[in-house]
Structure 1
Amino acid sequence: MKRNKQIKSLIVYVFLTVYSIATVFPFFWMVLSSFKSSGAVFEIPPQWVPDLLFKPGMWDSYFKVLTKHNFLRYIWNSSFISVTSSLGQLLTCSLAAFAFARMQFKGKQMIFALLVATMMVPTEVTIIPEFLLFSKLGWLNTYAPLIVPSLLVGAFGTFMLKEFFESVPASLEEAAIIDGCSPLKVYWHVFMPVAKPSLATLFIIAFMNNWNEILRPVLYIQSPQLRTLTLGLSQFQSEYTTDWNLLLSASVITILPLIIVYVFNQRFVMEGMMTSGIKG
């Protein structure tokens, strides 16, 4: 029995190791290739050691991307949009989740079911009426169409936080009400502090979704100064050629903020995973 258990564990670890390598390898190869010259990117056979590594010009593609191609501005634009949308989504989703989880009102179940049902509607289905609406509001070529839809439509976040709020012991809420707290104070002083792991998880998901958004920037942004990183990546590709070394360097720059956000929030994510099954 012990030997069979060890064999099963070995198989699982081998599978996880192979899966991890397959997942990480594309990013690893992208970083290596960003330190290659244009002609060396598609060398056959591939060279594992970049030809510019630790040589003059090693960082030239990164400097060129950040300065000549205005990626510093694009980083700021994407950061502003992603952070604003994500923080707004935390507020709106947590308020809605608290109402659905802890308050009683007529039609609650039907409204929640309709909200969850919107998760099955693709963005492409609503993008035309959305474009016409924002055009009437005069929001074209502004950040508003990139922030407002994400800020106000958070069905997944509402569903996730509702499940967590329902697991909070009722004694905490009752004690706060006895102390004279209004529903809004109960939400802010009781539920929000204990929901930090779930809020951190939702922030990461919302940040990644907004950071990687491409459809809305393509539709709504015309000014070069308002471009996001996803739009900035497209300038390295034309009908006939692609600047692969610059595109790879720009892709590394684009991915790094996502890694940084996850690293700073992974403690809360792990806490949420460890306590998600614990109910009071």
Structure 2
Amino acid sequence: MNRIYSFKKIISFVLIFISSMIMLLPFLTAVFNSLKTYAQYTMVPPKWIPEPFKWSNYSEVFQLGDFGQYTMNSLIVTVLSVIGALLSSSMVAFAFARLNFPFKNSLFLVVLGTMMIPPVVTIIPQFIIFKNLGVLDTLVPLWIFEWLAQPFGIFLMRQAFMNIPNDYEEAAKLEGCSPFQIYWRIFLPMCKPALATLAIFTFMAKWNEILAPSIYLTSKENYTLPIGILSLGGQWFGNEQYLVAAALISLIPILIVFLFAEKYFVHGDSSSGIK
């Protein structure tokens, strides 16, 4: 029996290792390509490992273009979007989960129904609205909608709030807490896993967004990182290894956010409630 168990365990580890290498191979290829000279980058047959490693490619990315400005623009949009999503979505979700008002369930179904509307359908009306407001070619259209509570965030936070036992709310009411105090001081700290999930999803969506910036932005100094990197393609013609290095640099903030929120991301709501 022990031999069979050990054999199954070895097979499992081998399969996991092979799967991990398959997933990791494209990333390693990109890393090696970012450390090559242009001659090595275009070599046929390709040379996988560069000799020597050209680490200066990463510093030259910042010197040859407005990469720093694009990064700052993306950071502003992403941070404002995450803050807006966490606040607005959690407030609306708390109302749907814990407050009583007419047509609550019907309104929630309407909110969920908006998730089925393709984003491209609303681009023209939104463009007209932003044009009349005079905020085209600014960063405002890229983050303002997150402050208006998006359906996915409302759904995610509502489920988290509904999983919290009623005893917490009743105890808070006996202590004289208002609905906002219950939301802010009791429920919100107990939903850190859901908040971390929403923050990660919002950060990734806004950091990698291409469609909205390409529509609303026309000035080069307002470009966000994705379209900024694409715009540098012509400038870096003959040095495409810089584009690979720039793309890898753009991954660093996402990895940092995920590692920071991982401890909340993997824990359940129940463990937070017990604390």
The answer to whether TM tops 0.5 is yes
Query: 1:1-80, aligned counterparts within 5 Å?
Result: 9-53=9-53, 58-80=54-76
Under a length normalisation based on structure 2, what TM-score does the superposition of the two structures give? 0.91
Query: 1:61-140, aligned counterparts within 5 Å?
Result: 61-140=57-136
Tell me the alpha carbon deviations over residues 25-72 of structure 1, each in whole angstroms, 9 at most, x when there is no partner.
22221111111011211323332321331xxxx233222211221111
> What residue identity is the alignment partner of 1:37?
T
Tell me the alpha carbon deviations over residues 195-217 of structure 1, each in whole angstroms, 9 at most, x when there is no partner.
11211111011000000000111
C-alpha separation in 2, matches of 1:165 and 1:102: 8
TM-aligned CA distance change 1:273 to 1:266, over 3 Å: farther
> What residue identity is the alignment partner of 2:203?
F
Deviation of 1:111 after TM superposition, in Å, equals 1.0
Residue aligning to 2:258? 262
Secondary structure, in 3 states, of the residue corresponding to 1:271?
Answer: coil
Residue aligning to 2:154? 158
Which one is further off, 187-196 or 1-10? 1-10
> What residue identity is the alignment partner of 1:168?
I
C-alpha separation in 2, matches of 1:102 and 1:26: 46
Deviation of 1:117 after TM superposition, in Å, equals 1.6
Deviation of 1:110 after TM superposition, in Å, equals 1.2
Which of 220, 223, 227 lines up with 2:216 in the alignment? 220
Deviation of 1:18 after TM superposition, in Å, equals 2.7
Under a length normalisation based on structure 1, what TM-score does the superposition of the two structures give? 0.90
Deviation of 1:264 after TM superposition, in Å, equals 1.2
Which one is further off, 5-14 or 134-143? 5-14
4+ residue runs of structure 1 moved beyond 4 angstroms? Answer: 1-12, 273-276
RMSD: 2.4
Tell me the alpha carbon deviations over residues 128-172 of structure 1, each in whole angstroms, 9 at most, x when there is no partner.
111111111111011110011233242111111111111111111
C-alpha separation in 2, matches of 1:220 and 1:10: 54
Residue aligning to 1:246? 242
Tell me the alpha carbon deviations over residues 154-192 of structure 1, each in whole angstroms, 9 at most, x when there is no partner.
211111111111111111110100110010000001001
> What residue identity is the alignment partner of 2:196?
A
Which one is further off, 60-69 or 190-199? 60-69
Point out where structure 1 has 5 or more consecutive residues left out of the alignment: none
> What residue identity is the alignment partner of 1:272?
G
Give the percent of matched residue pairs that are identical in Structure 1 and Structure 2.
Answer: 37
> What residue identity is the alignment partner of 1:22?
I
Deviation of 1:242 after TM superposition, in Å, equals 6.2
Tell me the alpha carbon deviations over residues 234-269 of structure 1, each in whole angstroms, 9 at most, x when there is no partner.
123349x56421110110111111111111111111
C-alpha separation in 1, matches of 2:139 and 2:70: 13
C-alpha separation in 2, matches of 1:259 and 1:181: 38
Cα contact 2:70–2:223 (8 A) shared by 1: yes
TM-aligned CA distance change 1:117 to 1:20, over 3 Å: farther
Residue aligning to 1:234? 230
Residue aligning to 1:197? 193
C-alpha separation in 1, matches of 2:4 and 2:125: 59
C-alpha separation in 2, matches of 1:171 and 1:115: 28
C-alpha separation in 2, matches of 1:264 and 1:93: 21
Point out where structure 2 has 5 or more consecutive residues left out of the alignment: none
